[in-house]
Amino acid sequence: MSRFLPPLVPRKVAFDWSDTPLEWIPGQPFASHFINEINLLLPAGEFWFCRVFNQALPLITDDALRSEVKAFMRQESMHARAHAGATESYLHAHGIETESNTRLEDQLFEKLLGDQPMGFTLKGRPARQWLVFRVGIIAAIEHMTCVLGNYIIRNRQWDEAGADPTLLDLLRWHGAEEVEHRCVAFDLYRHLGGGYPSRYYLASIVMPIIFGLWVHGAAHLMKQDPRFADKKPSVFRPWMWGQWFKHARDGWLPSPLWLITKELSFFDPWYNPENEGSTEEALAYLNRSPAALAAAA
């Protein structure tokens, strides 16, 4: 590892959800539901990151990388707990049913991407290859979360519209830590011998799946909103995708085309996650995040 970045800092956070409305961007129910799905999409994946990285720890021969991986795991488990807390104390308090979304993600990460994929027990070299493959999947997802983290910490339109400060802080604290730890999964993948060809094909599979899960989950949240009842929101309906484009054009969401363009750098053989964000910008937010300051106090 040859990075010149400050060591990662695992931070505790505390959020009070008592005043956060379901339509947390006033006047923007589509964008509010769309971003709220992040609370459901992330925890299963982030706990799975921790389990996979925990298995990789004994294989790491670089002390600096090992301590970064440990700090990464502590950050990711805090992210997962914070979003799961938002689902419990915020979405459920508004009567939102979330289990059908989280069940799908649990099956994906526990069964399909677990230690015994589809029930097969792996030993020796295949077990190591399966571990490196999964670390590569995490590196591809971490590129996506870094892109989204940049979007969220730089977004100003939500603030100008009077968006809920607690939800904004959850998204920005998490987004800033994604930028802060953007190199760890990629460094671990390379350290364990992960190469370019497998990075290329696994990213080609992972990125459409994550976008599909996000839109599918957001559609499920919208189905529960009477204002969208006549639209029958679904990942398979063009209305859903058309609305995503429309809301992106109006500045309420990141554009799907912009996201795809930003994902392309991961396919570059000379990809370097250090170039994908600014640590100074991330730390500037983390040092003033109300949730991080509240927990520290």
Residues 136-165, interacting with Fe ion (CB under 5 A): 145
Name the residue nearer to Fe ion (CB basis): 30 or 173: 173
Q: In angstroms, rounded to a whole number, what is the distance separating the alpha carbons of residues 249 and 256?
A: 10
Q: In angstroms, rounded to a whole number, what is the distance separating the alpha carbons of residues 255 and 70?
A: 33
Name the residue nearer to Fe ion (CB basis): 37 or 76: 76
Q: In angstroms, rounded to a whole number, what is the distance separating the alpha carbons of residues 178 and 171?
A: 10
Taking the complex as a whole, the smallest distance from the CB of residue 142 to Fe ion amounts, in Å, to: 5
Residues 199-238, interacting with Fe ion (CB under 5 A): none
Q: Answer for the pair 185, 139: CB distance below 8 angstroms, yes or no.
A: yes
172 counts as binding Fe ion under rule CB under 5 A:
no
Name the residue nearer to Fe ion (CB basis): 79 or 191: 79
Name the residue nearer to Fe ion (CB basis): 28 or 145: 145
Taking the complex as a whole, the smallest distance from the CB of residue 143 to Fe ion amounts, in Å, to: 10
What is the chain's Cα-based Rg? 19
Name the residue nearer to Fe ion (CB basis): 23 or 276: 276
Taking the complex as a whole, the smallest distance from the CB of residue 133 to Fe ion amounts, in Å, to: 18
37 counts as binding Fe ion under rule CB under 5 A:
no
Q: Cα(first)–Cα(last) distance of the chain, in Å?
A: 35
Taking the complex as a whole, the smallest distance from the CB of residue 46 to Fe ion amounts, in Å, to: 5
Taking the complex as a whole, the smallest distance from the CB of residue 179 to Fe ion amounts, in Å, to: 9
178 counts as binding Fe ion under rule CB under 5 A:
yes
Name the residue nearer to Fe ion (CB basis): 233 or 277: 277
Mask for 95-134, x = binds Fe ion (CB under 5 A): ----------------------------------------
Structure tokens at 98: 């979330």
Taking the complex as a whole, the smallest distance from the CB of residue 240 to Fe ion amounts, in Å, to: 25
- Binding segment for Fe ion among 71-79, 204-212, 252-260, 285-293 (CB under 5 A)? 71-79
Conformation bin of residue 237: beta by default, left when phi > 0, alpha when psi is -120 to 50: beta
Residues 232-291, interacting with Fe ion (CB under 5 A): none
Name the residue nearer to Fe ion (CB basis): 76 or 169: 76
Taking the complex as a whole, the smallest distance from the CB of residue 245 to Fe ion amounts, in Å, to: 26
Taking the complex as a whole, the smallest distance from the CB of residue 254 to Fe ion amounts, in Å, to: 17
Q: Tell which one of 11, 79, 134, 199 touches Fe ion (CB under 5 A).
A: 79
Applying CB under 5 A, the residues found at the interface with Fe ion are 76, 79, 145, 178
